[in-house]
């Protein structure tokens, strides 16, 4: 960094944005989130932990193999190798930032989740790992002199001058007032797009707004068709996100069963209830499509139920279920986007000065299906890498060239957004059909109330990517095309 280095703005107060901001020291950072520090976003809802190969007999190579297997071999090998090689340092860095991970008599307590061949999931606060990470990193950021954390605001537009990022425009969440600031480097850490589906575990803010801005800027997306559906969201009536039931319960011995109490995964996959998420979600979906219910039976778990899974226990009791004695009704729900803004391993896009990290970005690390507990890890590992890269930047503000403000575009009203979300769930859910997806694209393009909204454009982009990929792969499963023969390497 030189004296002429221009301002750095990071949009997003989740784990990826915070890791980037903290690692960019001593470069001054303006950090902007759409909620108060330490709240909101998907990070605070994450019940899973951090995947790190620490157990006897485990290794980074095994972690990489499991990541590639879950991702159906579609992963970028270089990105996977970097992720698993830096998992241990990421864990130690988190501890240095104040994260207290759960311990047992052997040291760090290691759990197991779907797709993992070893116990390697490190948790903090039982099934409240995301919140524990978020609070620790938010405290660290608030105590860092190089980080200025402005009040909650939304990013509306980017000024491009001479083909480079030059400024940004925000709207203050509380007052509605616009605010502009110069910007030589902009990092989008805005999260995923699960809230564009009617059934989702994501909060309303995870609505693909970063993808919408990228499309307006002409930045390409990568692997947009790959959306992961968590197989065990609590099946309740709600207009908001469905409560997540962590996969760690199945790692501890809980079983997915039908109405008669018979396990549904034993004949489906060699790993049973701990098969990769695409397999489990599709099995649950198919049972429900045939008119049956699917239940998660955790009644046989050990006596430390409440201590290990306080979040799930509280959620279930809030809805009148005692999970220690009763089975919980579950359904798949949109959970994580493997695709996103196309970036290299340093988070760079094709627009100078524009970067992306975390779920909104796509390095190819997750392939066609994310391995459980690799998401928080990705945010930390690649956030730290991007932060260090930006700390050494000497990029100044562009002072000449044609300039243009580019905004995300018009937003859909609540009625049209509700219909768009239902359409996305029906046509881009765990099982897809080419004709239905093509009809959905035509329907959006002929609807003047939706086609010009940024949400409509994002959903069309997801649909077109899914239509273009004619063969089933990972989370992208088409019932109108033959599925390739699966191997262990293909997940």
Q: What is the pLDDT, as a whole number, of residue 491? A: 33
pLDDT (tens digit, 9 = 90+) per residue, 243-298?
989 888 898 899 999 999 999 999 888 889 988 888 899 999 999 989 999 999 99
Task: Report the CATH architecture of 411-483.
Answer: Up-down Bundle (1.20)
pTM higher than 0.85, yes or no?
Answer: yes
DSSP states of 111-122? E--TT-SS--EE
Whose tokens are 């959903």? That residue is 459
Q: Using CB atoms within 10 A of its CB, is residue 270 exposed (0-12), middle (13-18) or buried (19+)? A: exposed
| Residue 326 near residue 339 (C-beta atoms within 8 A) | no
* DSSP-derived secondary structure letter, 332: E
Residue 38 reports pLDDT greater than 60: no
Provide mean pLDDT across the span 375-399: 93
Tokens encoding 423: 């359409």
| Superfamily for domain range 1-226+338-408 | FAD/NAD(P)-binding domain (3.50.50.60)
Supply the mean pLDDT for the chain.
91
- The domains of the chain are located at 1-226+338-408, 231-333, 411-483
Q: How confident is the model at residue 476 (pLDDT cuts 50, 70, 90)?
A: very high
Q: What is the pLDDT, as a whole number, of residue 247? A: 82
For residue 267, how many other CB atoms are within 10 A of its CB? 9
Which residues lie below 8 Å from residue 205, measured CB to CB, with a gap of 6+?
A: 34, 35, 40, 41, 191, 195
pLDDT (tens digit, 9 = 90+) per residue, 53-72?
999 999 999 999 999 999 99
Provide mean pLDDT across the span 394-409: 90
pLDDT (tens digit, 9 = 90+) per residue, 113-166?
878 999 999 999 877 788 889 999 999 999 999 999 887 899 999 999 999 999
Nearest CA to 249 among 298, 200, 202? Answer: 298
Q: How confident is the model at residue 486 (pLDDT cuts 50, 70, 90)?
A: very low
pLDDT (tens digit, 9 = 90+) per residue, 288-337?
989 999 999 999 887 777 788 888 899 999 999 999 999 999 999 999 99
Query: Can 255 be counted among the known catalytic residues?
Result: no
CATH of domain 231-333: 3.90.700.10
Catalytic residue among 164, 277, 432, 478: 277
């Amino acid at each position: 960094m030189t004296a002429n280095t221009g301002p750095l703005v990071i949009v997003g107060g989740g784990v990826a944005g915070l890791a980037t901001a903290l690692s960019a020291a001593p470069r001054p950072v303006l950090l902007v989130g759409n909620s108060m520090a330490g709240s909101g976003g998907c990070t605070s809802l994450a019940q899973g932990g951090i995947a790190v190969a620490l157990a006897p007999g485990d290794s980074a190579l095994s972690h990489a193999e499991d990541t590639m297997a879950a991702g159906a071999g579609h992963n970028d090998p270089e990105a996977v190798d970097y992720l698993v090689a830096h998992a241990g340092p990421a864990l130690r860095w988190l501890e240095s930032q104040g994260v207290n991970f759960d311990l047992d008599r052997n040291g760090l307590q290691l759990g197991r989740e779907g797709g993992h061949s070893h116990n390697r999931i490190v948790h903090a606060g039982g099934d409240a790992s995301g919140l524990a990470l978020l609070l620790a990193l938010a405290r660290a950021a608030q105590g860092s002199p190089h980080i200025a954390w402005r009040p909650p605001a939304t990013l509306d537009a980017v000024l491009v001058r001479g083909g480079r990022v030059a400024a940004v425009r925000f709207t203050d969440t509380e007052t509605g007032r616009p605010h502009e600031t110069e910007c030589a480097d902009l990092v989008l850490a805005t999260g995923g797009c699960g809230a564009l589906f009617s059934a989702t575990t994501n909060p309303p803010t995870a609505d693909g707004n970063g993808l919408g801005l990228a499309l307006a800027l002409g930045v390409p997306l990568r692997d947009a068709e790959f959306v992961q559906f968590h197989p065990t969201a609590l099946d309740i009536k709600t207009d908001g996100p469905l409560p997540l039931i962590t996969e760690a319960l199945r790692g501890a011995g809980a079983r997915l069963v039908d109405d008669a109490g018979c396990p549904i995964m034993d004949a489906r996959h060699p790993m049973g209830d701990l098969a990769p998420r695409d397999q489990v979600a599709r099995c649950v979906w198919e049972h429900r499509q045939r008119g049956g219910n699917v239940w998660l039976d955790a009644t046989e778990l050990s006596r430390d139920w409440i201590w290990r899974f306080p979040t799930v226990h509280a959620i279930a009791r809030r809805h009148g279920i005692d999970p220690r004695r009763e089975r919980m009704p579950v359904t798949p729900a949109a959970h994580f986007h493997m695709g996103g803004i196309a970036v290299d391993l340093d988070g760079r896009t094709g627009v100078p000065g524009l970067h992306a990290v975390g779920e909104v970005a796509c390095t190819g690390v997750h392939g066609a299906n994310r391995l459980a507990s690799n998401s928080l890890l990705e945010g930390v590992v690649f956030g730290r890498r991007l932060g260090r890269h930006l700390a050494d930047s000497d990029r100044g503000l562009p002072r000449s060239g044609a300039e243009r403000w580019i905004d995300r575009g018009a937003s859909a009203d609540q009625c049209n957004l509700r219909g768009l979300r239902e359409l996305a769930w029906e046509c881009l859910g765990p099982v897809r059909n080419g004709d239905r997806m093509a009809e959905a694209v035509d329907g959006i393009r002929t609807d003047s109330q939706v086609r010009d909204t940024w949400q409509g454009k994002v959903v069309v982009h997801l649909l077109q990517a899914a239509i273009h990929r004619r063969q089933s792969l990972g989370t992208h499963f088409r019932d109108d095309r033959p599925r390739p023969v699966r191997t262990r390497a293909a997940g």
